[in-house]
Amino acid sequence: MENIIETVDLTKRYSKAVALDSVSIHVRQGEIYGLIGKNGAGKSTLFKTMMGLAPYSSGEIKLFGSKSNKEIEHARQRMGFMMGAHFFPYLSARENLEYFRKLKGIADKAEVDRVLKLVEMDKVKKKFKSFSLGMKQRVSIANALMGYPDIVVLDEPINGLDPQGIADFRRIVQKLNKENKMTFLISSHILGELELMATRFGFIHDGKLIEEIDRETIRNKTEEKVIVKTNDIEKATYVLEQKFPNIEYQVNGDKELVISKMVEKTDEIASLLVSKELKLFKLVAQEISIQEYYLEMITKGGTDHV
Ligand SMILES: Nc1ncnc2c1ncn2[C@@H]1O[C@H](COP(=O)(O)OP(=O)(O)OP(=O)(O)O)[C@@H](O)[C@H]1O
Ligand SMILES: [Mg+2]
């Protein structure tokens, strides 16, 4: 798959502080990319530099494979962007979006109504200043979706949404991703919020992009499993299959057996193998969640885990 957003060693310094430290991010066409990092990690700074709203110190930004500043500017017109909710307080949602429609040069007047319907804000008449945080977020998301951009970049869009709002948001994103082939880049400081939505994750910590990883790969790494090292794998699998006909396992190399799930049967597996005179060099139950995986990664700095 083609990278449609790419940075190469992107670095941004604020006098002394380094907000982005050699970030090389790769967002591929058609994915829902979740950028995860805690407060101050550098998420907003990365998005702002990407969108041309803040200068950077060194490195490179490529959007749709752009090779010049002119091409980058052109590429940015194909991107919808949401960052905070900066709207006119005394205008309604519709009036605000009408203003941005004209500013963005979107000719189709029906766009405002279409995107307001998507976020279920089409019937709300009151002024922006009296909206709840969740309503403001919805208008902000709608604004980013106006004009069918190819890429939608959303900075903490879930912040302030209630559980129903989060579920609606997920549904909208997945539908647009599937039906309109829109690529999404979404940040959050809470991994769980994007866990059900993102197809790939990037983890950012202290300005460094620690890892980019597919959801499926995380799933495999974090799935509950029992890992067994023994002197006779063939005998071990035979014995285990006799006892647990539905067992699912994988053999890594010639000494390690990885049994899916069955963490609660770890003791039983151990005594069964020992009773059949197998030697147990290692037996561990792994029950790591995606959240734990992430926490472990940021504490280790992403260097020596895999
Ligand atoms: N205008 C600024 N001047 C100086 N330092 C800044 C400025 N903006 C951001 N920073 C610093 O850059 C780092 C990254 O900030 P950034 O806002 O990108 O983080 P974030 O991941 O978006 O955090 P949050 O989850 O709180 O939104 C932080 O250490 C922050 O203090
Ligand atoms: Mg931020």
pLDDT at residue number 1:
62
User: Does any ligand 1 atom lie closer than 6 A to the CB of residue 188?
Assistant: no
Q: In what order do the strands lie in the sheet with 249-252?
A: 249-252, 256-260, 225-230, 280-286
pLDDT in tens, 35-59: 999 999 999 999 999 999 999 999 9
CATH number listed for the domain at residues 3-213: 3.40.50.300
Is the Cβ–Cβ distance between 151 and 181 less than 8 Å? Answer: no
Write out pLDDT tens, residues 201-248: 999 999 999 999 998 888 777 778 899 999 999 999 999 999 999 999
Quick one: pLDDT band at residue 306, thresholds 50, 70, 90? very low
Tell me the pTM. 0.81
Average pLDDT over residues 180-191: 92
- Tell me, in angstroms, the distance from the centre of ligand 2 to residue 170's CA: 20
Q: Pocket of ligand 1, candidates 11, 12, 14, 187: which has the most ligand atoms within 8 Å of its Cβ, to mutate?
A: 14
User: Is the domain 225-286 a CATH 3.90.740.10 member?
Assistant: no
pLDDT tens per residue across span 154-182? 999 998 888 888 888 999 999 999 998 99
pLDDT for the residue 225: 86
The answer, yes or no, to whether any atom of ligand 1 lies below 6 A from the CB of 44, is yes
7 conformational bin, left if phi > 0, alpha if psi -120 to 50, beta if neither? beta
CA–CA distances in Å: residue 114 to residues 31, 63, 106, 110, 175: 23, 27, 13, 6, 14
Residue 290 pLDDT level (bands cut at 50, 70, 90): confident
Distance CA(153)–CA(145), nearest Å, equals: 10
Could you give the 3-state DSSP secondary structure of residue 195?
Answer: helix
Domain edges within the chain:
3-213, 225-286
Q: Decide whether any atom of ligand 1 lies within 6 Å of the 45 Cβ.
A: yes
